[in-house]
Structure 1
Amino acid sequence: MSQRRRTGTLALAALVLLVGGCTEAAGGVRGTPGAAGLRDPLFPKLGNGGYDVAHYDLTLAYDPATGRLDGTAEITARATQDLSAFNLDLAGLTVRGATVDGAPAAYNRAANELTLRPRDELAKGKEFTATVTYTGVPEPLTDADGSKEGWLRTADGAIAVGEPAGSMTWFPGNNHPSDKATYTLTLTLPAGLDGFSNGVRTERRTEKDGRVTTVWHTAEPMASYLATVAIGRYETGTATALGTVPVLTAAEALVAPGSAALRAEIPELLARQVKRFGPYPFSAAGAVVTRDGTLGYALETQSRPVFPAASFDRATLLHEQAHQWFGNSVTPESWQDIWLNEGFATYGEWLYAEEYEHVPASTHFARAFAQDANWAFPPAAPPAAENLFDPPVYQRGAMVLHKLRETVGDDVFDEILRGWAEKYRHANATTDDFTAYAESVAGRDLDALWDVWLYGDEKPEKP
């Protein structure tokens, strides 16, 4: 139940919030509400202004029999303006209560926006903790391209994927790639079920009622769309990659035998990618493989990509592992820059095939050049949300990198590829950042290349 009517003063404050006004707190802070959306070119309502999240501490209990999720989200953040109120993205679910720095906070729901007004306004630069308790049966989202994301129920559990918006179906947050944070996730399930998430599992315990709790920690910054949970009956495998990185794989029992051999290759494949991309950016690695029918695509969820069994092949695994550098560590500032994820991961496939399977990258380039679908729009300018995962973002994005390689030569290209991953490690970047960085390493103007291959509307007469 909302706390807005606790006192007359608080009720008036909540009314001011709803009409977008500002008030002056006793401490002298004169704040305004944070923006309810970051005006992303493709998803203007995603994300929120006025604060920057440092850490999510999520405590979840799930009952697959009913589909009910009970959650507490403790969000540590810093105010980036004098703040009278702020929003969190949350789809569905029922909010039971909210506090800011331990004091009850007024809250209001409007569509996918949860607005919190702290009792005391927050000065710019102040670190604060917002806690939201919630419950309900999460419902998946249907994307503009018709695919499903968010919290997806399975026969005996669930799997959560969030690109671009689905994470708000199971926890409240600043749901935009520009605001990355570390995570701790505590997951409690009925006995007999396994649960997995990102990062390193730091604890496993049996509760007095027989339920099993696991705790997962993601030490490196992560965009909300890369958070995942997998619940069900899984078979696991463990290994070590790169000398120190723990590798944990999980496959639903039905598809575990067929996926075991490729899962066992993950340490070797990561070692080969490190030679090309530079140091692995995370403290854990692995994969989750689900039976077909729930998830219609693979996703590069941070440190532990998820795959439907039909998509768990070497090329797709390499693609999602390449995302750990390009997309997960170096994350786009806005969704319009997604070719920095998909073009790089696709070219990573081409580079692997060239070095280890004796198929030149030029062969893949020629095939991509010949396909009309790759010329529907420039890779750096998907025209609408439904085009986020269209061929130009992947194939033509990779073509940009191949033309860059041809223009600057292999040695300089390798320096650009590794240096880009190093310079923006655990940060956000834009297309302009990349073109400026490539030119700085190459020591030359590359506008002619960008004009045709990155931004051009027309297909060149020759490759």
Structure 2
Amino acid sequence: MPLTSRRLRAALLATASATLVAATLPAPGPLGIGDRLFPHLGNPGYDVLSYDIALTYHGGNTEPLDAVTTIDARTTAPLEHLNLDFARGTVSSVEVDGSSAGFATEGEDLIIRPPARLPAHVPVRITVRHTSDPTGDTGSGGWVPTADGLAMANQTDAAHRVFPANDHPSDKAYFTFHVTAPEKFTVVAGGLPAGKRRHAGATTWTYRTAHPMATELAQVSIGRSAVLRRTGPHGLPVRDVVPVADRDELEPWLRRTPDQLAWMERQVGPYPFETYGLLVADTETGFELETQTLSLFERSLFTEAGYPAWYVESIMVHELAHQWFGNSVSPRTWSDLWLNEGHATWYEARYAEEHARKPLERRMREAYARSDAWRAAGGPPARPDVPSPDHKISLFRPVVYDGSALVLYALRQEIGAEAFDRLERTWVRAHRDGSATTDRFTALASRVAGRDLTAFLDGWLYGRTTPPMPGHPEWRSAAPRSAEPEPRGPVRAPKPA
């Protein structure tokens, strides 16, 4: 039918609008959501709702795992193409909503071109068939080889070295894992068991999370493991995963978890997830890690001479505290990391004070004395310096541990213990299963205290030098002389004397 003048104008307007939208779309290539510390992590234009990850382990740590990752998401903008973070694997095919899609890899991005343009605010299912390579630089995270299998250590930017993902903690989602391994292996993953099927000399294990999870907190353990079960507060199922040969030696440590859970609940309220436990791996990472519902620990922490019992327990509580601070309430950006590590260090120190007579005030005074040096070496707590590209773990500097716990100590000194405890409980309740920012913490602290704490907290969080400590005007921070040595990894501090 010939176009009338009205139809012609409408058609020209529609064409111009489409051209304008297309002009605003990013060109195909690596993307990111602009995180200050990890600018290439995450991808714009969609929100992941769930991951379904199927992995087949063939029994050796040098052979890639076969994998299928299915992502259910919802678009937040019109998309001609969409990106996933992915590296250390080979992609064989991609489907979008059941139809074959074009794809390319560039840098650490998998760039997908759907068969048709995706409008905003619609559901989309992405299925990627790929391999997951456990070899390479294990110090950069992802799969971690153990003496009898594999585990994951994905913090901060390494989940996409295992599976395609929107690899940023601001986009949390539900996870289902289906892991097939030879019958001699035991598989455990984050969440609760959801089935087990034996077939042709192998077993497929299924686990499912009941709460959304950041990609960096995913955990899958494959090994010749014993799974030890006990009950925590209010009937909470607690399961620990340990090398079979070590179950008796580790049991005295593992049986302490229910009491530690009860202690944390007295501090901040109910445990936020469906299960908890320790994954004790025979590997050397240099750190422990708060993977959701199943924290990763090196075997040597419990078996090596030189770690006092109070210290081991305080590290156990550190990882447990992360289940509230960092896991249930995740950082919106990686600059908000102090909210994770500062709080975990705070409760670690509080536990040591109550159970081992290690005074919190003395630890905070020592931290105050070193705080200016820490800030000079690594930036202030809420604006840490960018980690080196070849050593991303260097983000985990002393300023985000004791330097950030010191911020919480100053805040409690300023508003009082009662208001501080109310703030902590309200924070984890208000932001449960979500992500939150430093600004939101400041706003909530101000509301709980009944006065504006912005200027007070800005100095503590963003200042290049340490403000005076409320209640302790005599405390002094030594002028920085040289860069402080960095810890070996996200959690493990040097051995105490």
| Aligned with residue 276 of structure 1, among 263, 267, 283 | 267
Q: 2:437 corresponds to which residue?
A: 430
Does structure 1 residue 449 correspond to structure 2 residue 448? Answer: no
SS at match of 2:56: strand
Counterpart residue identity of residue 321, structure 1: L
> CA offsets per residue over residues 438-457 of structure 1, 9 Å max, x none?
01110112245324322221
Q: Please tell me whether residue 299 in structure 1 is matched to residue 301 in structure 2.
A: no
C-alpha distance in structure 2 between counterparts of 1:173 and 1:64, whole Å: 25
Counterpart for residue 374 of structure 1: 374
State, as a whole percentage, how many aligned pairs show the same letter.
39
**TM-aligned CA deviation for residue 399 of structure 1:** 0.4
Where do 1:76-91 residues align within 5 Å?
A: 76-91=72-87
Q: Secondary structure at the match of 1:184?
A: strand
The equivalent residue for 1:11 is: none
CA contact (8 A) 1:236 1:250 kept: yes
Quote how far apart the aligned CAs of 1:140 are. Answer: 4.6
Q: 1:49 — aligned with what?
A: 44
Query: 2:147–2:283: 8 Å Cα contact kept in structure 1?
Result: no
Change (3 A) 1:382 1:30: closer
Judge conservation of contact 2:331–2:340 (CA < 8 Å) in 1: yes
TM-score (norm 1): 0.89
In 2: Cα distance, 1:311 partner to 1:24 partner = 59
Superimposed CA distance per residue, residues 157-213 of structure 1 (whole angstroms, 9 cap, x where no aligned partner)? 111110011111111010001100000000000111111110111212211x11011
Cα distance change on mapping 1:136 and 1:389 into 2, 3 Å: closer
Q: Which runs of 5+ in 1 are unaligned?
A: 1-21
Task: Please state which structure has a larger fraction of its residues in strand.
Answer: 1
- 8 Å Cα contact 2:443-2:454 kept in structure 1: no
Corresponding position of 1:68: 64
Q: For 1:194, give the aligned amino acid.
A: T
On the 8 A contact 1:198/1:304 being kept in 2, the answer is yes
Aligned residues: 434
Could you say which residue in structure 2 is the equivalent of 1:9? none
Q: 2: distance between equivalents of 1:23 and 1:308?
A: 57
Shift of 1:118: 1.2
Deviation at 1:32, TM superposition (A): 3.8
Match of 1:19 in 2: none
Q: Distance in 1 between matches of 2:74 and 2:458?
A: 39
Residue type of the alignment partner of 1:436 = A
Q: Say whether 1:343 aligns with 2:335.
A: no
- After TM superposition, the structure 1 stretch with the greater mean CA deviation from structure 2, 426-435 or 31-40, is 31-40
Question: What is the deviation of 1:379?
Answer: 0.7
Partner of residue 299, structure 2: 309
1:42-441 equivalences under 5 Å are: 42-65=37-60, 66-135=62-131, 137-141=133-137, 147-207=139-199, 209-293=200-284, 295-312=285-302, 313-371=312-370, 373-376=373-376, 377-386=379-388, 387-441=394-448
Question: Using the alignment, how far apart are the partners of 1:305 and 1:389 within structure 2?
Answer: 18
Please report how far the alpha carbon of residue 392 of structure 1 lies from its aligned counterpart in structure 2 after TM superposition.
0.5
SS in 2 for 1:220: coil
Q: Separation in 2 of the partners of 1:457 and 1:261?
A: 44
Structure 1 residue 378: Cα displacement: 1.1
Cα distance in 2, alignment partners of residues 460 and 428 from structure 1: 28
Which protein has the larger Cα radius of gyration, Structure 1 or Structure 2?
2
- CA distance in structure 1 between the aligned counterparts of 2:314 and 2:423, rounded to whole angstroms: 23
The answer as to whether partners of 2:47 and 2:74 remain within 8 angstroms in 1 is: yes
Q: Deviations over 1:14-50 (max 9, x none)?
A: xxxxxxxx9979xx99994598211110110011110
1:88 touches 1:172 (CA, 8 Å); kept in 2?
yes
Which AA in structure 2 matches 1:406? Q
SS in structure 1 of the partner of residue 94 of structure 2: strand
Distance 1:249 1:392 in 2: 31
Which secondary structure does the structure 2 equivalent of 1:119 belong to?
coil
Q: Using a 3 Å threshold, how does the CA distance of structure 1 residues 84 and 414 change in structure 2: closer, same or farther?
A: same
How far apart in 1 are the matches of 2:257 and 2:425?
21
- SS across alignment from 1:183: strand
Deviations for 1:373-418, whole angstroms, at most 9, x for unmatched residues?
A: 5343311111112441000011110000011111111110100011
Partner Cα distance (1:92, 1:23) in 2: 40
Using structure 2 for the length normalisation, give the TM-score. 0.83
The answer to whether the Cα contact below 8 Å between 2:314 and 2:351 also exists between their aligned partners in 1 is: no
The 1:51/1:352 distance shift into structure 2, 3 A limit, reads: same
